[in-house]
């Protein structure tokens, strides 16, 4: 008597499992927001009640603030700086462009695009002191489904970023 119920349960469980296995990769895709790109906000260190931070300082020795139009990050004389974005969804094997207004002073800096743990970088764009420009940085997502944008600099550097945006090419 219990066998038909057990068989039905096994068929339903197998169907749900197979359906989930086939749909999981789509759940990880960027979705419809990808069509218009991703504009990152200028919140750092603490969000507000309407939206979460898109940026985080990489270490406690960094001074980071927003002035309403840009994020300003400064390192001390003994430590460099890291400004790291939240993980951003991307399609694997796709070309993307990251646009940002950047001003670098004091020491050289690098704009780097990496995996979510920043264990390795997909691409890097060096920026010498005195850089004050709109950067259009094109890169491939390779096999990644999520990327992180990082600004890295040597001790004594200050970086100001505004209008950060990621878009598929």
Split at pLDDT 50, 70, 90, the class of 12 is confident
pLDDT at 45 over 80: no
Reduced to 3 states, what is the DSSP secondary structure of residue 87? coil
d(CA 96, CA 88): 12
The more confidently predicted of residues 135 and 46 is 135
Instruction: Give the pLDDT score at 59.
Output: 85
Reduced to 3 states, what is the DSSP secondary structure of residue 51? coil
pLDDT at 126 over 60: yes
- Percent of the chain exceeding pLDDT 70 equals 86
pTM of the model: 0.80
Split at pLDDT 50, 70, 90, the class of 13 is confident
The more confidently predicted of residues 9 and 55 is 55
Secondary structure letter of residue 141 according to DSSP: -
Instruction: Give the pLDDT score at 144.
Output: 95
Q: Which residues of 128-162 are buried (b: 16+ CB within 10 A; e: fewer)?
A: eeebeeebebebbbeebbebbbbbbbeebbbbbbb
- Percent of the chain exceeding pLDDT 90 equals 64
What are φ and ψ of residue 131, in 5° steps? -65, 130
């Amino acid at each position: 008597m219990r066998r038909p119920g057990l068989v039905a349960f096994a068929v339903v469980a197998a169907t749900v499992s197979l359906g989930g296995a086939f749909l999981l990769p789509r759940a990880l895709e960027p979705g419809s927001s990808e069509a218009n790109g991703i504009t990152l906000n200028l919140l750092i260190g603490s969000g507000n009640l309407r939206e979460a931070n898109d940026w985080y300082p990489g270490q406690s020795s960094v001074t980071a603030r927003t002035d309403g139009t840009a994020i300003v990050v400064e390192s001390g004389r003994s430590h460099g700086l890291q400004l790291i974005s939240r993980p951003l969804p991307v399609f694997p094997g796709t070309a993307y462009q990251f646009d940002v207004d950047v001003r670098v002073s004091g020491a050289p800096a690098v704009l780097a695009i990496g995996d979510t743990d920043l264990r390795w970088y997909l691409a890097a764009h060096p920026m010498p002191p005195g850089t004050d420009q709109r950067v259009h940085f094109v890169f491939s997502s390779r096999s990644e489904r999520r990327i992180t944008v990082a600004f890295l600099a040597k001790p004594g550097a200050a970086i100001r970023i505004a209008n950060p945006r990621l878009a598929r090419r």
